Structure 1
Amino acid sequence: MVKKRLIEVVTISVDDKLDQNGALRNVAVKDAWQRLRQKIDVEEWKAAEKVLNELTMNLQKINMYKSVSGACGKLRNALQNPEQLVDEAEFLSATPTPRDRGDSPQALQAASDLKKTKDELAQFCSCLEKIKASLEKDNQLQDKIEPPPGVAPDIAGSYKALAFICDRCQRGLREIDHLKKRVDNCEARNKELEKHIDEKEEAIDKLTKTVNTLEKKHSTVKEGKIDNIKEQMKMKSLEKQVEAKVAEVNKMRAENANLNKRLNEIKEQRGSELADMYNTHPPARIADLYRELYASGKNDAFQFYKTSMNLPAKDAAVKTMAVLQDAFSFCEEASKLQFGLVLNSLITPTESFDGKQPPHKVDDNDMSQIQNVRKQTSRLSCEHVKNAFVTKLESSGGTYSMDELTGCMAFIEHCVELCWYMCMQTPPLVIGFSDNMKQDIAVDKTKYEIASGKGAKVDFVLWPPLYGQKDGDVISKGVIQTK
């Protein structure tokens, strides 16, 4: 009975320990993993290894109690019958003695099982010691933990639990290494940040010193500027006065420019009036005389060629316009010769004139004065030009007969006189002889008037148009006969 009571006490004590350590295991595992996985400060990373060591020690204790629990389970099975009990010494030693050999087979089997269980527990404890030593030495675990062959299922389960715990611990160690690396990186970054902060602080100190220096300078300059403000105000007042004076001067200059412009306009107007005073035959008067020449003098010559010389109307018109063209060409050459002589006499009076216009440069004002003199004396020179042209016709021989000269003398003189006044203008007037010989062309009503005929094409030209200048506007239209 004493032995039975002793075994029950041991069994109950072991069960209590298992219950207590089962709860301890759950609490330890939850606490350890929560502390490892939660967000902690950088200073607390170093405590992770200590937490893992505590977890390892707790797991070692749990596994030992679990192995003892397996052995005690076998004891319960052996103690179901009283006759299977053994004494205290046999239970503790678990080795058969010669006295035991005569016992029952169940007792011998129980003793054998106890001995085997003791050996297996010894091996398990040895495995735990190795794991503990490896953890204490270099904080490493075995890669593979396998139970010895032929062990009891409970012991094999303990080995499997130990292998699972070691695997979890191995993962924890890897996580701890990773965390250590992160901590090292964070520390390195912290050192760099601290260095950067030190540099920034040095820069801030320098800037602070610079700001203090600038503030001192600013205070000094500010004191000086207070004295300059009054001077600046005075300068602004003077500047305003100067601006007002400048504006007044600009206004006076603008008025002066307007006056000069008006004066120039008056001079030009008076100059044109004076030029008109010198010009006894302005272009408008010449245009009127040109139309009168066609209406009166031209008709006399035309009728002479048509009746006295028995020429057709077309040929009579050609002969009449030939007289006008010869007179215009003669007056044009005489005008150029006169201008060359006057210019040469005024600029180079000691040199003889060779009939060509000298290459003298004369400004517009002087040229205008010379032209005015020529216009003013055009009446005097006109008589000489008429006599010279008539003399040329009389001495030409076959160009004009004496009958033509006698019958058309009045028309010839009127042509020379009018053409001379045309050449005296500035610029000279131009007679349009280009269409004289053209036929079967469309009627240009901007240049010609139709004398007779109802057709749309020109039969022959009776009288050429007069232009204000070369390629200029028509100041007196010509006359044509249409088909």
Structure 2
Amino acid sequence: MYRTHAASMPVQGQDHTYCRRKANMNLEQEKKITTAVEIDLKSDRDSVTSLEFQLNGAFVENEKHKKRITELVATCKNIEASYKLTLHSCKRINNIITLVQLWANLRLLGQEKNIRTDVENELKSATDMVQRLEKHVNDDSVKCQEHQKRIAELDAANKKLEAAYKNLDKQKYHMEQQANKNLEHMQRILLEEKMKADDQYKKLLAERDNLRDRFSKLAGKKLQEQNADIADFLDPYRAMKVSEKFGQLYDDDWTNAFESLTDKKLGVPLRDAINVLLRLLQECWAFCNKLVEAQMESLQNVFLHPAQNLANFDQKKTGLTDRPRITSKDQPSLNDLRKRVGVSPPVIEEVKQAFLADSKTWDKREEKKFDKKHIEACTPYIQKCAEVCWLMALHDPPLLMKMDVKQGEKFDTNIYTVYSQSGQTIDFLVWPPLYNGRDGGLLSKGVAEPIRVVSKKK
């Protein structure tokens, strides 16, 4: 309810719009920086991929050249071996010719013609063979020279490829280093921008929450002044939360105290035990109300008479006749101050110890008429009663327990729950209902025992 009321104010709407625009601008700026970084990274990755592709192609081409060079070297070796074999054959043929000539000179003159013819044929055949061999050797020599030239060219190309490979590898290394530096730089810039944006966003959120809380509190105070049943949901000690503690007091501490009173050691009857616990709650409620009233009176005296405790100050001698008073406009602020201080754990603990110390004297006071053993058995219950009743008394307006329940009243299921048996009229009260002030709504139901109706047999 308070958020809707506060959101209708123009100042808060402007703060929401400003925060939203500022956050959107920071997000757009962060997206632009991220997009630029991703584009630079993609470009560097494409360049590195292209260089790697060129390096792989050069490496494959270099391997092919090496293989071709190996084949050409083997071919040259085969040609040299064939050349040596041909020279050896030529020498043998020359030796044969020499022998033939010598043998021809030793022949008889009658056979010279036939021998000459045969020798000439052999010489011609040998000469043809030599010519063919020389031509073959010349051809092989030319091929070997060509192969050697090709080998030299391939060696030069291989050296160029190796140099290009080293150059590309060096370029790749430098590009990777530069890309890493650029990436680190952009990441650092992006991180700084993000941290600035986050800090600014947190500040805007804190400002927004502060304004929202201030407007919510302002609206809550105005609404609470008009209607006590309207709660401030930012208050951890609002009426509904205190009523929950009131219900837990009955469910947990009351049950434990009831079992302690009715066990075999003390043996208190059930009805008497219920009456003891209800009287303890009443005494605690009266004690806390007196304490709150005394505290308020002391606060008013401190604020209205700041010099009353000075030794050299006498109000009668000042001639002041008009006594200042707390106005109705200032009273809610004083109540709020009292509540904020009063709910602190040290103050609550002091109230608990004060009520517990007072309860230990009840066995000696005639108007109380409490048994000392009963007080000792109910010590945890008494302390919890003091805590809850103190919070109830601090609330503005104070929460109210309906204790004036008479036997024979109609049992209203909207106000009470049944203790142990059903019926139409109330026999006795077990636990009182809790209201949000004298004219406020019901916060939690009470517990009552109805009068048992015995049906007559026909």
TM-score (norm 1): 0.41
Larger radius of gyration: 1
Bigger relative CO (Cα 8 Å, ≥ 6 apart): 2
TM-score (norm 2): 0.43
